[in-house]
């Protein structure tokens, strides 16, 4: 191999070394930037993961830039010859021969390939790898950083509105399945929910829409609770009627009418066909009574008792069904109808145990006691005639005129003061204040001046 | 030995490979030149003991057709060196002892009214400058006016008197000496005059062993009798050979960067130069570096200049061309120290070695 070839080889080695150096610098910077970007995305913008990994494809352009830069800074052949000359300790002969070839001097150059080969610069990929190790570890470690929980997903726009509308829709469906809603009412509610869905699709929930949602929830809850209350009242009325019939205790006409009305209301609220599913004879009787508009069974006591028992069973079933419906609706209506009765709303975490929050009638494990409650006849609330009221006239008339200073004890003359009832000395501080001796003479002189025309303070 | 001159035809017609190779000195030519120079160095070495590098630099400078300024304490052999050189080269030698009352006409000569063929006319009588080898002893003792009389002679190799130009005999070398002490009543050479000198060499004291040899071999300080080692013609041929020594472009680039770095305003200058140097070296310094490097290469038996030759001659070429600031003196920086820093700072190859390939 001629010395020119060795110079070219040396030049290529230099160019490659320069490229490695530039590539290491650029790739190191790129890996640091990439790792930082991955880290930022994982911690700040999780939605961009794993798309951010596509940025890794920029390694190719970065390598290209490094190659172009190394080309621009590459050694010339002259410099390559000079460096190789120095390495061989040729004293400039190699440079000279590369410019002015001369066979007479060429043999003065080293003749062994080994010497030339040893003069070539050694490529050091390990050094490059060591240079890139830290950035690479950083980039890889950034890839293993756990993705932050996407909070943006939970607060996506209109998600709450859509969920609320869906819950309302489900609640309507449940109420419809329980035959609580009438057709027209159901259609109106569905229209409202559909309108709400339409509005929340393009715009967020505003406080007006929240009010609409709350109104719908309350309406559905009211319907459910009204149905529940009607059934409960009906069941209680049937039980009361049955009890009265069983013990042969005649009810007052008002009470009987009240109970019958409650039973009729409950029967009216029963789903269509519910009566036909009950016992054959009792069902027919009940349908008949319902058509008459009066609960006036004129059967024999035994039949009447039997019908009441069946009716009681029927209403109890309906109550249970409504309780199940209430449980299903609890989630849809935001917990408004959770519980077993009126105003028995519990919080999200309420489970009847103390300290879990929610609204109830007391500790879950405590026996509820409301004291001396009024019965259904309201016998404890009787009218009491109060005595007629009167106006207390003020005593501001002139009683008499005296020529001397009045001896007044206002504290004694003010019995009406509420405070004086408990504190007899109240209000006496001002009146009981003693005049100073030098003032006393002035006051006395004023009143004892002999001017009879001046008004006098009435004597006690 | 033939020299191929660049002509118009040569510029147009591309040179063949054979033509190019013929430009490079042959090994035989180099060996022959080296033998002649070794003979000269041996002769000088027999007179000036223990100063091999000094006499090598002087010979290198003469081969580059340059002038030398020797600076050193009295008694170190400066004058003896020049006298030995004149004896060995067989050239016409003159010596001028510079004194404050020396006039320019005492150097370059003067027209004197003479009677010629019955009529009186001014006849130019050449001064001592008309010689091949001129020793200007203690040059800093003459007035600047007298010192300046050498300017044209050194640069143009001619003198002009009363509008009449008289060429000097070739080769013409000026070897001046000056004393760094006893400066009272002296006139330091101006920068323009200093720049004419290719080399300024500091003659340093010899070692103890050398002193012992001097005492043993010299009686009453008389140097040995010298025979002519090289004739003037032979020396001229050697100088011509020196011109044919190849200067690789990378080395030329190194010289250019080295000289540029002496300028404090240059970006590539080291911080010390920027801080302490007032003026850098002139292009004449770069030319001197290249020419004397060629001479050094020939002396080393090489057909080309290498970086080593440049580094060898650079201190002598640059030391008197680098003008330092007053602060440099306060900080203890001398031109020599600054040149050492320059040689350390400026890389031989302009582009640095890739980091990844460094051992």
Q: Tell me the pLDDT tens digit for each residue of A423-438.
A: 666 666 666 666 777 7
Residue B248 has its nearest CB partner, among A73, A75, A92, at A92
CB pairs under 8 A between A and B: 105
What pLDDT score was predicted for residue A342?
Answer: 39
Instruction: Report chain A residues whose CB lies below 8 A from the CB of B27.
Output: 104-105, 108
DSSP β-ladder status, B173-178 and B133-137: parallel
Of A217-231, A441-455, B24-38, the range with the lowest mean pLDDT is: A441-455
Average pLDDT value for chain A: 75
- Contact assessment for residue B58 and residue B175, using Cβ atoms and an 8 Å cutoff: yes
Stronger pLDDT, A436 or A174, i.e. the higher one = A174
Contact between residue B245 and residue B158 where contact means Cβ atoms under 8 Å apart: no
Mean pLDDT of A332-350: 49
Tell me whether residue A355 is exposed, middle or buried, using C-beta atoms within 10 angstroms of its C-beta: 0 to 12, 13 to 18, 19 or more: exposed
pLDDT in tens, A11-22: 888 888 888 888
Task: Please tell me whether residue A191 adopts helix, strand or coil conformation.
Answer: helix
Please give the pLDDT value at position A455. 47
Cβ-Cβ contacts under 8 Å for B240 (sequence gap 6 or more): B1, B3
Contact by Cβ (8 Å): B85, B56: no
Of residues B24, B308, B348, nearest to A102 (C-beta): B24
Cα A337 to Cα B6: distance, rounded to the nearest angstrom = 113
Contacts of B299 in chain A (CB under 8 A): none
Question: Do the Cβ atoms of A324 and A316 come closer than 8 Å?
Answer: no
Question: Any CB–CB contact under 8 A between A9 and chain B?
Answer: no
H or E stretch including B126? strand B119-126
pLDDT bin (cut points 50, 70, 90) of residue A56 is confident
* A345 pLDDT more than 50: no
Q: Has residue A363 got a pLDDT over 60?
A: no
A321-335, A367-381, B91-105: which range is least confident on average?
A367-381
* pLDDT at residue A346, rounded to an integer: 44
Nearest to A21 among B20, B300, B356 (CB): B356
Distance in angstroms (rounded) separating the CA atoms of residues A392 and A437 = 40
Note if the bond before A37 is cis, omega within 30 degrees.
no
Q: Please report residues of B whose CB lies closer than 8 A to that of A95.
A: 248-251, 304, 306
Contact B107, B146 (CB under 8 A): yes
Tell me the three state secondary structure of residue B177.
strand
Give B-chain residues touching A17 at CB under 8 angstroms: 354, 356-357
The three-point CA angle B305-B61-A86 to 5° equals: 20
Give the pLDDT of residue B60. Answer: 92
Q: Which one is predicted more confidently, B112 or A125? A: B112
Q: Report yes or no: B306 at the A interface, CB cutoff 8 Å.
A: yes
Question: Which parts of chain B register pLDDT below 70?
Answer: 1-22, 221
Chain B residues within an 8 Å CB radius of A7: none
Nearest alpha-carbon partner for B114 in B106, B125, B103, B104: B125
**Residue A459 pLDDT:** 42
- Asked if A91 lies within 8 A of B302 by C-beta distance, the reply is yes
> Which phi and psi (to 5°) does residue B126 adopt?
-60, 145
Residue A227 or A365, more confident? A227
| Cβ-Cβ contacts under 8 Å, A99 against chain B | 246, 248-249
- What are the two backbone dihedrals, phi and then psi, of residue B265, each rounded to the nearest 5 degrees? -85, -10
Flag if A102 and B250 touch (Cβ within 8 Å): no
Q: Is the CB of residue A75 less than 8 Å away from at least one CB of chain B? A: yes
**Is B296 within 8 Å of B239 (Cβ atoms)?**
no
Under an 8 A CB cutoff, do A21 and B246 touch? no
Position of tokens 């001129």?
Answer: B134
User: Can you give the pLDDT at residue B57?
Assistant: 92
Secondary structure class of B115 (helix, strand, coil)? strand
Calculate how close chain A gets to B302, using CA atoms only, in Å: 8
For A5, A86, A98, B34, the CA distances from A103, given in Å and listed in that order, are 16, 21, 11, 21
Give the B window 184-223 contacts with A, CB below 8 Å: none
Supply the pLDDT for residue A415: 52
Per-residue model confidence (pLDDT) at position B247: 92
Sign of CA dihedral B240, B244, B247, B249: positive
A460 has pLDDT over 60: no
Residues in A touching B309 (Cβ below 8 Å): 92
What pLDDT is stored for residue B288 in this prediction? 93
Its ipTM equals 0.79
Roughly what angle, to the nearest 10 degrees, separates helices A183-202 and A159-177? 170
- Could you tell me the sign of the dihedral formed by the alpha carbons of B64, B66, B72, B75, in that order? positive
| pLDDT at residue B259, as a whole number | 94
Q: Measured between alpha carbons, how far is A31 from A128 in angstroms, rounded to an integer? A: 14
The pLDDT-based confidence of A35 (bands split at 50, 70, 90) is very high
pLDDT value, residue A433: 65
d(CA A299, CA A248): 15
* Strand pairing report for B173-178 and B68-72: parallel
Sign of CA dihedral A236, A241, A244, A250: positive
* Count of other CB atoms within 10 angstroms of residue B134: 27
How far apart are the C-alpha atoms of B7 and A228, rounded to whole Å? 124
Predicted confidence at residue B329, as pLDDT, reads: 85
> What's the rounded Cα separation, in Å, for the pair B73 and B202?
9
Furthest CA-CA distance within chain A: 162
CA B7/CA B23 separation, integer angstroms: 14
- Among B22, B28, B296, B304, the strongest candidate for a mutation testing the A interface, having the largest count of A CBs within 10 A, is B304
Split at pLDDT 50, 70, 90, the class of A223 is confident
pLDDT band per the 50, 70, 90 thresholds, residue A236: confident
Contact A21 B354 (CB under 8 A): yes
| Residue pLDDT, tens place only, B307-341 | 999 999 999 999 999 989 888 888 889 999 999 99
């Amino acid at each position: 191999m001629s010395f020119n070839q060795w110079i070219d080889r040396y030049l290529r080695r230099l160019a490659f070394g320069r490229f490695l150096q530039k590539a290491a610098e650029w790739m190191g910077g790129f890996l640091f930037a990439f790792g930082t970007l991955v880290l930022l995305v994982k911690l700040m913008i999780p939605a961009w993961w794993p798309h951010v990994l596509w940025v890794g494809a920029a390694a190719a352009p970065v390598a290209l830039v490094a190659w172009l830069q190394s080309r621009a800074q590459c050694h010339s052949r002259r410099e390559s010859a000079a460096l190789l000359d120095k390495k061989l300790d040729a004293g400039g002969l190699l440079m000279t021969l590369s410019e002015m070839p001369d066979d007479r001097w060429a043999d003065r150059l080293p003749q062994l390939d080994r010497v030339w080969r040893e003069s070539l610069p050694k490529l050091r990929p390990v050094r490059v790898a060591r240079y890139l190790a830290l950035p690479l570890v950083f980039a890889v470690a950034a890839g293993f950083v756990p993705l932050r929980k996407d909070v943006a997903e939970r607060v996506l726009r209109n998600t709450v509105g859509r969920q609320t509308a869906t819950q309302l829709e489900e609640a309507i469906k449940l109420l419809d399945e329980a035959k609580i809603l009438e057709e027209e009412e159901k259609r109106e509610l569905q229209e409202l929910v559909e309108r709400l869905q339409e509005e929340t699709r393009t715009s967020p929930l505003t406080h007006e829409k929240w009010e609409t949602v709350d109104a719908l929830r309350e309406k559905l809850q009211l319907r459910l609770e009204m149905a529940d209350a009607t059934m409960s009242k009906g069941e209680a009325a049937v039980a009361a009627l049955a009890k009265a019939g069983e013990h042969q205790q005649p009810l007052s006409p008002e009470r009987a009418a009240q109970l019958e009305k409650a039973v009729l209301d409950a029967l009216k609220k029963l789903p269509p066909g519910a009566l036909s599913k009950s016992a054959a004879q009792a069902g027919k009787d009940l349908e008949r009574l319902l058509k008459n508009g009066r609960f006036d069974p004129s059967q024999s006591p035994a039949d009447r008792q039997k019908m009441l028992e069946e009716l009681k069973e029927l209403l109890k079933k309906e109550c249970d069904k409504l309780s199940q419906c209430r449980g299903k609706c609890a989630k849809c209506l935001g917990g408004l109808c959770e519980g077993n009765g009126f105003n028995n709303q519990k919080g999200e975490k309420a489970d009847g145990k103390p300290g879990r929050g929610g609204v109830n009638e007391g500790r879950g494990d405590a026996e509820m006691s409301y004291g001396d409650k009024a019965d259904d006849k309201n016998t404890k609330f009787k009218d009491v005639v109060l005595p007629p009221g009167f106006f207390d006239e003020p005593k501001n008339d002139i009683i008499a005129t005296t020529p001397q200073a009045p001896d007044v004890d206002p504290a004694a003359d003010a019995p009406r003061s509420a405070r004086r009832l408990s504190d007899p000395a109240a209000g006496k501080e001002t009146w009981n204040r003693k005049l100073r001796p030098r003032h006393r003479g002035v006051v006395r002189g004023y009143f004892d001046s002999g001017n009879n025309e001046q008004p006098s303070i009435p004597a006690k | 030995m033939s020299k191929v001159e660049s002509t118009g035809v040569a510029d147009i017609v591309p040179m063949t490979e054979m033509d190019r190779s013929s430009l490079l000195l042959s090994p035989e030519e180099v060996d022959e030149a080296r033998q002649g120079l070794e003979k000269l160095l041996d002769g000088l070495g027999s007179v000036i003991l223990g100063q091999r590098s000094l006499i090598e630099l002087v010979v290198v400078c003469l081969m580059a057709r340059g002038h030398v300024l020797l600076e050193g304490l009295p008694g170190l052999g400066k004058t003896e060196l020049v006298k030995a050189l004149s004896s060995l080269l067989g050239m016409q030698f003159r010596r001028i002892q510079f004194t404050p009352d020396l006039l320019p006409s005492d150097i370059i000569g003067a027209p004197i009214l003479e009677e010629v063929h019955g009529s009186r006319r001014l006849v130019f009588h050449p001064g001592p400058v008309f010689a091949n080898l001129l020793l200007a002893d203690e040059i800093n003792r003459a007035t600047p006016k007298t010192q300046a009389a050498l300017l044209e002679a050194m640069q143009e190799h001619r003198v002009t008197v009363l509008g009449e130009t008289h060429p000097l005999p070739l080769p013409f070398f000026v070897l001046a000496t000056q004393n760094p002490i006893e400066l009272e009543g002296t006139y330091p050479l101006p920068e323009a005059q200093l720049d004419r000198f290719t080399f300024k060499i500091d003659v340093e004291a010899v070692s103890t062993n050398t002193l012992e040899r001097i005492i043993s071999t010299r009686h009453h300080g008389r140097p040995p009798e010298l025979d002519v080692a090289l004739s003037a013609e032979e020396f001229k041929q050697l100088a011509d050979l020196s011109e044919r020594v190849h200067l690789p472009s990378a080395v030329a680039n190194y010289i250019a960067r080295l000289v540029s770095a002496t300028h404090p305003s240059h970006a590539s200058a080291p911080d010390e130069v920027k801080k302490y140097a007032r003026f850098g070296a002139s292009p004449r310094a770069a030319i001197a570096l290249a020419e004397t490097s060629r001479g050094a290469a020939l002396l080393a038996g090489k057909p080309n200049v290498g970086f080593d030759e440049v580094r060898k001659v650079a201190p002598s070429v640059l030391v008197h061309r680098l003008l330092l600031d007053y602060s440099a003196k306060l900080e203890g920086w001398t031109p020599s120290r600054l040149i050492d820093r320059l040689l350390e700072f400026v890389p031989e190859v302009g582009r640095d070695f890739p980091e990844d390939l460094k051992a």
